[in-house]
Amino acid sequence: MNRAPYFADICDGPDTGAAYWLLTTDGVQIRAGVWPLAAQSSPAKGTVFILPGRSEYVEKYGRSARDLADRGFASVAIDWRGQGIADRLLPDAAIGHVEVFEDYQVDLAAVLNMARDLDLPKPWFMIGHSMGGAIGLRALLEGAPFDAASFSAPMWGIGLTSIQKTMLKGFAPLLSLFNLDRGHAPGTTSDSYILTQAFDNNSLTTDHDMYEYMRNQLVAQPDLSLGGPSTHWVREAMAENAYLTAQPSPEVPCLCFLGTDETIVNPQAVQDRMARWPMGKLIEVPQARHEIPMEIPQTRKVFFDQSCALFAAQSGHVTKAAQTA
Per-residue model confidence as pLDDT tens digits over 6-41: 999 999 999 999 999 999 999 999 999 999 999 877
- The CATH class, in words, for 2-324 is alpha beta
Sorting pLDDT into bands at 50, 70 and 90, what band is 175? very low
Instruction: Report the C-alpha gap between 128 and 150 in whole angstroms.
Output: 6
Q: Residue 177 — pLDDT band, cuts 50, 70, 90?
A: very low
pLDDT digits (tens, 9 = 90+) for 196-236: 999 999 999 999 999 999 999 999 999 999 999 998 999 89
Contact (Cβ atoms closer than 8 angstroms) between residue 154 and residue 130: yes
Confidence of residue 180 (pLDDT cuts 50, 70, 90): low
> What is the average per-residue pLDDT within 155-170?
62
E-strand spans in 116-217? Answer: 124-129, 149-152
Q: Are 125 and 144 contacting, i.e. CB atoms less than 8 angstroms apart?
A: no
pLDDT in tens, 235-246: 899 999 999 999
Average pLDDT, the chain: 91
pLDDT digits (tens, 9 = 90+) for 273-313: 999 999 999 999 999 999 999 999 999 999 999 999 999 99
With b for 16 or more beta-carbon neighbours within 10 A and e for fewer, the 15-49 pattern comes to: ebbebbbbebeeebbbbbbbbbbeeeeeebbbbbb
Q: Which of 59-63, 157-161, 163-167, 240-244 has the lowest mean pLDDT?
A: 163-167
Q: For the whole prediction, is pTM greater than 0.85?
A: yes
More confident site: 319 or 15: 15
Structure confidence at residue 156 (pLDDT): 97
- Beta carbons of 255 and 304 less than 8 angstroms apart: no
Domain range annotation of the chain? 2-324
Is a pLDDT exceeding 70 seen at residue 128?
Answer: yes
pLDDT at 290: 97
Residues 6+ apart with CB under 8 A from 221: 7, 10, 59
pLDDT at 324: 45
Arithmetic mean of pLDDT, 67-85:
97
The pLDDT tens digits for 184-204 are 887 788 999 999 999 999 999
Q: Report the DSSP pairing between strands 29-35 and 74-79.
A: antiparallel
User: pLDDT band for position 318 (50/70/90)?
Assistant: very low
How confident is the model at residue 1, as a pLDDT?
83
Residue 248 scores a pLDDT above 90: yes
CB crowding 103-123: b at 16 or more within 10 Å, else e = bbbbbbbbbbebbeebebbbb
